[in-house]
Amino acid sequence: MSWQRYVDYMDGMKEITVAAPMVNGNGYIEKGRSSFPVIIKGITLPEADVIYKFKNNLVTGDLRPGGNNVLIGVASSEKSGLQAGDTFYLRNQKGSGDYFIIQGIFDLGSSAANNMVVMSLDRARTFLDITGISAIEIQVHDVFAADGLAKELRGSFSQVKVESWQERNKELLSGLRAQDTSSVMIQFFVLLSITLGIASVLAIIAIQKSRQLGILKAMGTNDKSAARIFIIQGFSMGFAGALVDILLGLGMTELFMFGTKSSGGPTYELKITLANILLPAVLAAASATVAALVPARRAAGLNPMEVIRNG
């Protein structure tokens, strides 16, 4: 098998997690007088499961494709009305076909992926009348290193077409980058407006409490202690706001994940780390503390005699 040497070569590369040979084709599930188009994919299960995670997304049945036992996606199951254990007739593009048994039904969270009929690699090659394979799909340790790895593989395999996910999804990647840039800008201006808002509130408080501050300073409170009142108040406001926002954020995240759950689990994987929680909280508390510096300086510079005299 000439393609096996490519798989062996990529399996030996430290940047690659797994290299999975695939056979891809189109076909039709026929039930009575109805015909349902599907994507036929031939796989070697251990390698393909690393990429597609069939085992984790199995809705019903077993994960044992082999011979005429196949897996189908929930979209194909719902359209055709087929369930695990059913036997159905599958026709390829050339018009020939065979009967297959549904071993399991999976939900990968994508309409295209859930329209697949998955069988063993050798059975797919025979069924689709393909002598070799359609593609070798690989998974890399660093997803953003895929473009550089693709260039390296092109230098090693001159007769093979190599595409990275960035090249196949240029428009999506461009949109994600634009979204990331706009998200950073929005966060910056939100943080700036919050800082200015807290500074304004504390400045008004400093004016309203000028008489009390003057009395405190006349009783012996030094400039640093007077300024410290507003620093502590600003930090307290930032800390309390950060705590409330963390709870609200986690609650809204749970609601979002609940709303995107499909029969096989959440459609999107959303990993929240401790850094994701602490960094915004620290920024909020720090911004509120910085915002308190302006009224703190005003409080430190108050002349107690003038304040008391002028009321």
For residue 311, pLDDT beyond 70: no
For residue 76, pLDDT beyond 80: yes
Query: Do residue 102 and residue 204 come from a single domain?
Result: no
For residue 303, pLDDT beyond 70: no
Which one of 168, 198, 217 terminates a domain?
168
Query: Do residue 108 and residue 246 come from a single domain?
Result: no
Q: Encode pLDDT of 135-170 as tens digits.
A: 999 998 888 888 888 888 888 887 788 888 788 777
For residue 241, pLDDT beyond 90: no
Size of the chain in residues: 311
Q: Mean pLDDT, to the nearest integer, of 39-53? A: 91
Q: What is the pLDDT of residue 166?
A: 80
Query: Do residue 187 and residue 210 come from a single domain?
Result: yes
Which one of 103, 134, 168 terminates a domain?
168
Most confident of 55-59, 192-196, 245-249: 55-59
Q: What is the pLDDT of residue 121?
A: 92
For residue 43, pLDDT beyond 80: yes
Distance separating alpha carbons of residues 198 and 231, to the nearest angstrom: 11
| pLDDT-derived band at 263, boundaries 50, 70, 90 | very low
Which one of 134, 168, 202 terminates a domain?
168
State how many domains the chain has.
2
Q: Encode pLDDT of 78-125 as tens digits.
A: 999 999 989 999 999 888 899 999 999 999 888 888 999 999 999 999
The secondary element (H helix, E strand) that includes residue 95 is none
Most confident of 206-210, 218-222, 243-247: 243-247
Query: Do residue 150 and residue 189 come from a single domain?
Result: no
Q: Which two tokens stand for residue 127?
A: 């069924």
What is the average pLDDT score of the chain?
82
Q: What is the pLDDT of residue 264?
A: 46
Distance separating alpha carbons of residues 110 and 115, to the nearest angstrom: 9
Distance separating alpha carbons of residues 288 and 303, to the nearest angstrom: 26
Distance separating alpha carbons of residues 44 and 57, to the nearest angstrom: 17
Query: Do residue 54 and residue 188 come from a single domain?
Result: no
In three-state secondary structure terms, 93 is coil
Query: Do residue 202 and residue 128 come from a single domain?
Result: no
Query: Do residue 114 and residue 62 come from a single domain?
Result: yes
Query: Do residue 203 and residue 140 come from a single domain?
Result: no
Q: Whole-model pTM?
A: 0.61
| pLDDT-derived band at 259, boundaries 50, 70, 90 | low
For residue 197, pLDDT beyond 80: no
Query: Do residue 91 and residue 225 come from a single domain?
Result: no
Query: Do residue 189 and residue 151 come from a single domain?
Result: no
Query: Do residue 19 and residue 50 come from a single domain?
Result: yes
> DSSP assignment, residue 107?
-
Distance separating alpha carbons of residues 38 and 79, to the nearest angstrom: 10
Query: Do residue 194 and residue 213 come from a single domain?
Result: yes
Q: Mean pLDDT, to the nearest integer, of 177-191? A: 83
Q: Which domain holds residue 81?
A: 2-168
For the chain, give the percent of residues with pLDDT over 90: 23
| pLDDT-derived band at 193, boundaries 50, 70, 90 | confident
